[in-house]
Every structure is written in C-alpha cells, then in structure tokens.
Structure 1
Amino acid sequence: MTSLLLPTPDTDAEFARITAALTRRGFLGGSAAALSRLALVGCSSGEGGDGADDATRTVQTHYGSVDVPVDPQRIVAVSYNTPWQLQAVGARPVATLDYSAYIDQFTPTQQKFIDGLSTVGVFLEVNREAVVAAAPDLIVGDAYEIDEDMFRELSKIAPTAVYSGTNRSDWRAVAEGVADAVNKGSALTSNREKYQAMQERIRTEYAAQLGENRWAQVAIGGSEGHFSILYPTGVTGAMLADLNVTRGEFIPDLRPATGFEAFPLEQLEMLRDVTVVIYPKQPNGTDSAGMKSVFASPLWSRIPAAASGRVFGISTQVTDYGTAINWLNELETGALEALS
C-alpha cells in the first residue's frame, strides 16, 4: 500500500508522481485526515512568526477568511505542489517539505529553486517545530494534505492559507489561491492569460490533428503486467480534453476519481484504433522502467500509433499555469508539429 500512497525513491518515478498526485487530490479519503492529524509533530502552542505589526489583507481560503501580510517575507510551503505554484508567480519560500528522497522527479529548475531552503517535514508529515523555527509570516498549502486540525495548529504559528479545487483535475483553483495568498495575483493573471491564449491557438491551429486522429494517454499501471489510461478527471487528461481531441473508440468510458485506471497488458487491444499516444516521461526526458515494460509488450506494437511512430512523451508535471504552458509547448513541438 505504501508505494501507492507516497512518492518514494524505490517506486518507478512516473508512477510515484501520478500516485503522489492522486493522493494529494483526496484518494486517501478519510485516512488522509487521520494521517495528517497524527503527522503534525509537536503540538504545543503559543509561538508565532514575526510581522504582527505589518499591514494585512483578507483572503478567502478553504477554511474561511484569513488575514495575511500584504507583503509576506517569510513564506513556508507545507504541501507537495506549493513551491512550484509559488515559483510560477515569482514568490520564493524560506522553507518547504523535504524532497530529497525523490528529487529526481523534478526538473533542474525546480531543484535549483528549493536548493538550500529549510525543510519542515516530508509529504503528509509536517513538523511543527521546524515550521516554528522557520519563523514564517505566512504558511501556504492545499487542503488535500492540510486538514482542518492541522490548519488550526499551523494557524497558531502564523497566518495559514490553504486551498482546494473541486476535483483532482482542478489545479487552477489551488494555484490561483496560492497566488492570491502571497499577493501575486497580477503574475497569476498574466500566466493564466498566456495559457488560455496558447490553448485557444493550439485548439484552432491544430483542429484537424486533434479531431481527426484517435488519441489516448497511457502511463504505467503501478504493478508488473499493467498499464494505465489517463482520463479527463486527471490533470493532463483534462488539459487534453480541453483541446477537443477525439479519443479512442474502444477505451472504456470511465471517470475515475484518481484520474487514471489501470488495466492488464492483455487489454492493450482497447487501443486498436488509436493513432496517437501521449505518455508521461521522466523530468530528464527519459522513459521510466515501467513505461519501457509497457512498450516491450508484443501487443503494444499492434497499436496503430506505435506502428506508425506516433507515440509522444511529455516530461512536464503540471501544477500551475506556468507548467501548464510548458506541457502545451511539449505537446505542440513534440506531437502536433509532427502530425502536421
């Protein structure tokens, strides 16, 4: 069970990213709340960050209205995706979770962004004393990892702004909330407008390639002999659906809360009419061991997309508008231009 819930170094890198993401989007259900309550280390109260006299503004969060600094100087990011959402709008935290166990899952730019920062725990395990030591004037995170009990404890240290979306594919709501909390709404708006313009241009310019081909998004299945289909209920599945692609006719019509569904390799025949396959690559641009195993299946070569060399990998992990733009750019330069 652990390998399905936590991003660990001994798990195939891509599956770790997918499963870490689904965990952050509520896959754990009630157990996530229990875990986060147990994981908040050191529950004495009283300490608070500096900056009590600074000007504040009120923001709306998952847990209600919160007064936050107008110009936060010591931001602590307590959720897995939060540093990259801050990075996208030009805000640098003073502390984050410890990503060293799976640092290779991130791009060189992301690695550089968090290099040398203090750490305040690991995924789903926030260390309260480490947060206090970071002397934050603002704490930010998402409600998929920060439940209400943890929110209350963190709020004793500094103003805490926590955000959520309507479902796993709704990264926009969290990214926009984080940007608002750190008063970087203008940067967020700029990124959003660039993303929307690029999305519309691609949808129009490549309408034939998107609509006349049969598309599928494939990933590893998490266990030997399996593969996964990525659905519009997931992050990049929703992005591809927004481009009005035509999906394979024989792919099961599902809406999994996790954003993907695993199938035995014997069921690769569901892709028998698929002419374009998109799959996630590792951040360094290589194929994971799990994807290589899928590609090695004799059934894979029978898929029209594989037979014609129309299988395209994308390495960007989407957490915000900046990385969403990068994902679209990879889709365009790697797949759509080749299909033109």
Structure 2
Amino acid sequence: MTPLLLPTLDTDAEFARITAALTRRGFLSGSAAALSMLALAGCSSGEDSGGPDGETRTVQTHYGPVGVPVDPQRIVAVSYNTPWQLQAVGAQPVATLDYSAYIDQFTPAQQTFVNGLSTVGVFLQVNREAVVAAAPDLIVGDAYEIDEDMFRELSKIAPTAVYSGTNRSDWRTVAEGVADAVNKGSPLTSNREKYQAMQERLRTDYADQLRDNRWAQVAIGGSEGLFSILYPTGVTGAMLTDLDVTRGEFIPDLRPSTGFEAFPLEQLEMLRDVTVVVYPKQPDGTDSAGMKSIFASPLWSRIPAVASGQSFGISTQVTDYGTAINWLSELESGALEALS
C-alpha cells in the first residue's frame, strides 16, 4: 500500500500517522542564501519589529515571552492549522504553507481564504527563503510542527509566536494563543462564548440521547486492515466526552497521546454494544477510501449502531472555536436530532 504523505480529514488518526511518516523537520533551503535575502529585504529581528507605527506588545508563547506588533500587517502562518485559526478571528495572512496538492481536503471557504497567497513550504517543511521573501512582521505557528531550533531561525526573520496545548486534544490553547498573537482577543472571546453556550445547550437538550446510548468514534487505522478508535485525548474525542456521552463498554480504556489507537478489523467486535457511531467524512460530505474499506468488513455491519442506521459522519475538521461550533452543529443535525 502506498503511504499517504499529506493530511486528510480523517483528522486525529491520519494526522498522527503523517507526523510519524514525515520525520524530517527543518528548512528546505540553505541558510547562506536566506541570510543574504534577509539583508536585502531589510527585515528586522524579533526584538526590533513592530506594527506600522513600531508599537509592540509582549505575548506569552510556548518558547517564552515574545514582543509582537500591536497591529501586524504581514502575518506568515507556518503550521498546518494556523491559517484556519487566523481565519476564525478575522486575521488575514500574507503567506501560508502550500496546500495545493490536497486543496480539495478543505472547505470552499478555506480554499478561498488561502487562494493566491504566497507559500512558505509544505507540512513539516518550512522554506526559510520563502519566509524571508514574504517580508513578515509576525510569524505564527504551533509547537507540534515548529521545534525550538526552527523557532530560533524564524525569530531571526521576524517576531515568531508559537503555541502548544497540554496534549493533542487541546486545540483551545493553541487557537487562543494565535488569536492573542495577532491581537484578536475580542472575536476569539465571542467565538468561545458561542461554543460554550452551544455545548451546554446540547448537554441539556439531548441529555438522554447522550447518556442512554453507547457511543464510539471510529476513523481509519493508517493502513489496510486497521481501524482506529478516537479517544478523549484527541480533538473531537475530547469534544464528545465534554458532552457527557456514555462510551461503549468493551472499548479498551486507553489514553493514547496521539488521541487514537489503531486495531485490526477483526477487533471491530469491541463495538458489539455500541448504538451510535461517529466517524469523519471528507469536506464534500463523501466517505474517504479508508473509511469505505472499514465499511466493507462484514464485522462492521454487525455493530448495533450500523445495523440500526445510527452511524453518522461529520465533515468538519476542528482547529478553533468557529470550526468546533460547526462540528457540534453537524453532530446535532446529523446524529442527535435523529436519535430524538
């Protein structure tokens, strides 16, 4: 089987598999040429940069306090999810990673958001020369992809704010950090309050459906013959847990740091008491080839949830409060209303 080297919407399981496959973390281009471009561009270091009027403020990041422009005008996003976190709070980058090879994995709104922007590398491979050429006054990303060595190199170009959560499920901390870096705390707060209100409403309005059913989240397993269970240590696994669901009794009680655990298809029997299954769909609402291979297993059709038509796909990829609201909306319209 040819390994898939690019992220897809089978979020937690696929992201972890890709991260393991792409072991090279660094810059594509030589430092000498980049430093020459830096001098020609007249870009300043992280300590000297500011907004149009030179005013700066200090933010707390994964790598310590960083002085950033009060009103950044040329934001460069160097991590996979960062553009969507910027989009959620109304901040427009001038450059992002290159998503062209898998642009159909994103929603039309996301595609429009990055259309025509300069690119600065691909997933886990930042091109330093391209970052310099973008003439940023602020660089933002997350520590899952930007290690300390890369952070130091990027900080020579412009102030660099990199964030991380406590684990894979903690998208909130990263999204809030990115919003703080670009001085968009107000829209972030608004989105957070809307998310929390919706979360509480679903817990209340659908308490019986959430508690009285047995739930499981299933995704692709990374290679043929495998499936994954998404756990509360992952992004959407944590969101479902926050709704106080009852999970399947025979699902192994694990807390994998990746947010998922892969099992052979023969172990689909662990879902023998599950009455509701949630799984990731692609942005266009279709099922991925990986999920279709799981559906083809005779054991899949024996799961009570599948046999009773209570298997629900959700296409939203969660990176911030805005997309989290969309994920909850899909859960409500697709699953919770059908269970009522």
What is the TM-score when the length of structure 1 is the normalising length?
Answer: 0.92
* C-alpha distance 20-293 of structure 1, shift in aligned 2 (>3 A): closer
Tell me how far apart the structure 1 counterparts of residues 81 and 2 of structure 2 sit (CA, whole Å).
20
Higher mean Cα deviation, 39-48 or 298-307? 39-48
Name 2:31's counterpart in structure 1: 43
Show CA shifts across 1:95-142 (max 9, x none).
000011111111111011000000001111111111111111100001
* C-alpha distance 319-23 of structure 1, shift in aligned 2 (>3 A): farther
Tell me how far apart the structure 1 counterparts of residues 101 and 269 of structure 2 sit (CA, whole Å).
37
> Does the 8 A contact of 2:96 with 2:118 survive in 1?
yes
Tell me how far apart the structure 2 counterparts of residues 18 and 236 of structure 1 sit (CA, whole Å).
8
Name 1:110's counterpart in structure 2: 110
Tell me how far apart the structure 1 counterparts of residues 233 and 216 of structure 2 sit (CA, whole Å).
14
Show CA shifts across 1:6-44 (max 9, x none).
416xxxx444x44553369xx659x96xx324x352324
* C-alpha distance 116-163 of structure 1, shift in aligned 2 (>3 A): same
Tell me how far apart the structure 2 counterparts of residues 203 and 40 of structure 1 sit (CA, whole Å).
47
Tell me how far apart the structure 2 counterparts of residues 2 and 93 of structure 1 sit (CA, whole Å).
34
Alignment match of 2:15 (pick from 15, 18, 21): 21
* C-alpha distance 258-112 of structure 1, shift in aligned 2 (>3 A): same
Tell me how far apart the structure 1 counterparts of residues 248 and 332 of structure 2 sit (CA, whole Å).
20
Name 1:271's counterpart in structure 2: 271
Tell me how far apart the structure 1 counterparts of residues 304 and 13 of structure 2 sit (CA, whole Å).
28
Structure 2: which amino acid aligns with 1:92?
Answer: Q
Residue 303 (structure 1) shift: 0.9
Structure 1: which amino acid aligns with 2:25?
Answer: S
Tell me how far apart the structure 1 counterparts of residues 307 and 14 of structure 2 sit (CA, whole Å).
32
Name 2:6's counterpart in structure 1: 7
> Does the 8 A contact of 1:7 with 1:19 survive in 2?
no
Name 1:188's counterpart in structure 2: 188
Which residues in structure 2 correspond to 1:187-336 (within 5 Å)? 187-336=187-336
Name 2:98's counterpart in structure 1: 98
* C-alpha distance 304-252 of structure 1, shift in aligned 2 (>3 A): same
> Does the 8 A contact of 2:9 with 2:317 survive in 1?
no
Tell me how far apart the structure 1 counterparts of residues 142 and 30 of structure 2 sit (CA, whole Å).
21
Name 2:119's counterpart in structure 1: 119
Higher mean Cα deviation, 208-217 or 124-133? 124-133
> Does the 8 A contact of 1:191 with 1:322 survive in 2?
yes
Tell me how far apart the structure 2 counterparts of residues 179 and 248 of structure 1 sit (CA, whole Å).
37
Which residues in structure 2 correspond to 1:19-168 (within 5 Å)? 19=13, 21-22=15-16, 28=20, 35-37=24-26, 39=27, 41-44=29-32, 45=35, 46-47=38-39, 49=43, 52=50, 54-168=54-168
Structure 2: which amino acid aligns with 1:293?
Answer: S
Tell me how far apart the structure 2 counterparts of residues 18 and 216 of structure 1 sit (CA, whole Å).
14
* C-alpha distance 107-2 of structure 1, shift in aligned 2 (>3 A): same
> Does the 8 A contact of 2:216 with 2:229 survive in 1?
yes
Aligned sequence identity (%): 81
Q: Provide the secondary structure at the position in 2 that maps to 1:227.
A: strand
Number of residue-to-residue matches in the alignment = 328
Tell me how far apart the structure 1 counterparts of residues 13 and 105 of structure 2 sit (CA, whole Å).
13
Tell me how far apart the structure 2 counterparts of residues 143 and 28 of structure 1 sit (CA, whole Å).
15
Q: Which runs of 5+ in 2 are unaligned?
A: none
Residue 319 (structure 1) shift: 0.4
* C-alpha distance 2-78 of structure 1, shift in aligned 2 (>3 A): farther
Q: Which runs of 5+ in 1 are unaligned?
A: none
Q: Provide the secondary structure at the position in 2 that maps to 1:183.
A: coil
Pairwise CA RMSD: 2.0
> Does the 8 A contact of 1:213 with 1:275 survive in 2?
yes
Show CA shifts across 1:248-281 (max 9, x none).
0001111111111111111111111000000000
> Does the 8 A contact of 1:43 with 1:153 survive in 2?
no
What is the TM-score when the length of structure 2 is the normalising length?
Answer: 0.92
